[in-house]
Amino acid sequence: MNNASRPEKKSSYSVLRIFWLLRKDYVVIGKTNIRSWYAWLVLGLVVGITASAAFVINQRGKLGTSEAASNITTTPRPNIVVIMSDDQDYQMMYDVKRKDGAPLMASVQNLLAAKGVTFLNSYVAQSLCCPSRATFLTGQFNHNHGVWTNASSKDLAENGLSNGGYIALDHSNTLPVWLQNAGYFTAHIGKYLNGYGIQVPEETIPPGWNDWNGLVDPSTYSYYEFIFNENGLIHQYGTSTADYQTDVIASKAVAFIQGHSQDTKPFFLSLAPLGPHIQIPSLYPVPAERHLDYFAGLEAPRLPNFNEQDITDKPTGFQNTFDLMGSVVVYSVDQSYQTRAETMLAVDDLVRSVVNALAETGKLQNTIIIYTSDNGFEHGEHRLPQQKNFVYEESLRVPLIMRGPGVPAGVANEGFVSNVDLAPTIVQLAKAKPQRVMDGRSLIPLMRGTAGSWRTALYIEGDLAIYSGSN
């Protein structure tokens, strides 16, 4: 087992310093003044290092460094592949084992983690799909990129405004646009921002993408019979085994890599499978046929905070909203956990297919691969069955693994990192010029060991109502 394997189990409780931001009020984090111009409350969480632990963002030891990391090169500039799963919590990847004892995501561990850096303390700024993906595309927090929810509230939409979904983001000024301007060939395959195909026509191709294969909502949330916009052509897939969504995305990714095997121009490939998000309408995701019931009988971990007995430390609204889970709900949580684990097997197959295609075309040695998720997920912790968008580690902590030229192999880095850091990292690798003031920091100095002082706290934000409940 390499040193990027799962760290020692920690408790899931910690001290939070919470700043409630009212409209037009300020909060200072370090030396940064942050102003909220929105009509609702914003929850700003600064998570400090603490010896206690519901939020486990503890630092243990020094930041991971390696002499090899100082050799990260951008000449020639690398190809960049980002694989972003949907609603994948951090711990499942380590807690669940295959029948042969291998990790749930054996390819991620063997082909990425063992060959690169695992960021042990990786969190998202908000544990919700659309705001998180907008952060990836901009390197900014919600209050700067303007996407707060998955869909715009009715009152704002009626007034020609938007606070959520695809239309809330300025797509003319995003990471793919910057990379395209820097000479990259850009491609996206899979889920994009919530509301794509609903808030805008399904034929829409967002700015910045040379090769566009975007899933069209609401079909995005179907593992079969989904719709792709394939460079302006609408293609509906069927119900055959070959039409399983994750496998289709994998096949498209392999075809893209093979099609660019002779190109000298660097490419940026964004892959966004649905797994392990639930199918809608349904309570559970749908595993590939080859993985059905692979983990039959698997139960969600029964940690001390599972179906938490005493929640008097929670906000009043939380206490008034979430009752102890009964046997039927617990059964549903376990079914969810099982099918989510089975669904991740196909995502792991996708990773293997991508790495193999890069190797077979001679592109692997000059390709940075980043694996992560848009947010985590609750499996009954804190009485939260199949939930996210809460200020608990299970919702906020996500896998983040990077391999590529100059990236040290098998290193576990303990620095506090956020999804707001992904765009700055990619921009530095690509020598691109962002047209936004990004809130994050490139992770390259952290890997090099040249970052000097690194952050000791993380900023989290979101809609206050979801944290306090309705009381």
List % helix, strand, coil for the chain (3-state, nearest 5).
Answer: 30, 20, 50
Rg (CA), the chain: 21
Phi, psi (degrees; rounded to nearest 5) at 223: -75, -15
Residue 120: exposed, middle, or buried by beta-carbon count in 10 A (0-12, 13-18, 19+)?
buried
Q: Of 238, 250, 167, 241, nearest to 206 (Cα)? A: 167
How do strand 400-403 and strand 367-373 relate by DSSP bridges? Answer: antiparallel
User: Alpha-carbon distance 105 to 223, whole Å?
Assistant: 20
Structure tokens at 103: 């990790």
Kind and range of the H or E element at 371? Answer: strand 367-373
3-class DSSP assignment, residue 370:
strand
State both tokens at 177: 């646009």
Q: Which of 21, 54, 96, 129 is catalytic?
A: 129
User: Residues 232, 237, 240, CA angle at the centre, nearest 5°?
Assistant: 160
Secondary structure of residue 48 in the 3-state scheme: coil
Residue 64, judged by CB atoms within 10 A of its CB (0-12, 13-18, 19+), counts as buried
**Beta-strand (E) ranges in 40-194?**
42-47, 79-85, 116-123, 185-190
270: Cβ contacts below 8 Å, ≥ 6 apart: 82, 84, 176, 186, 187, 188, 189, 190
Q: Which residues pair with 234 in a beta bridge?
A: 229
Distances (CA, A) of 421 to 40, 166, 313, 438, 470: 26, 21, 32, 9, 33
Is residue 130 part of the annotated active site? The answer reads: no
Length of the chain: 471
The closest alpha carbon to 437, from 149, 145, 56, 59, belongs to: 145
55: CB partners within 8 A, 6+ apart: 12, 13, 14, 15, 16, 47, 391, 392, 393, 396
Angle at Cα 440 formed by Cα 435 and Cα 441, nearest 5°?
100
Point out the residues that are catalytic. Answer: 129
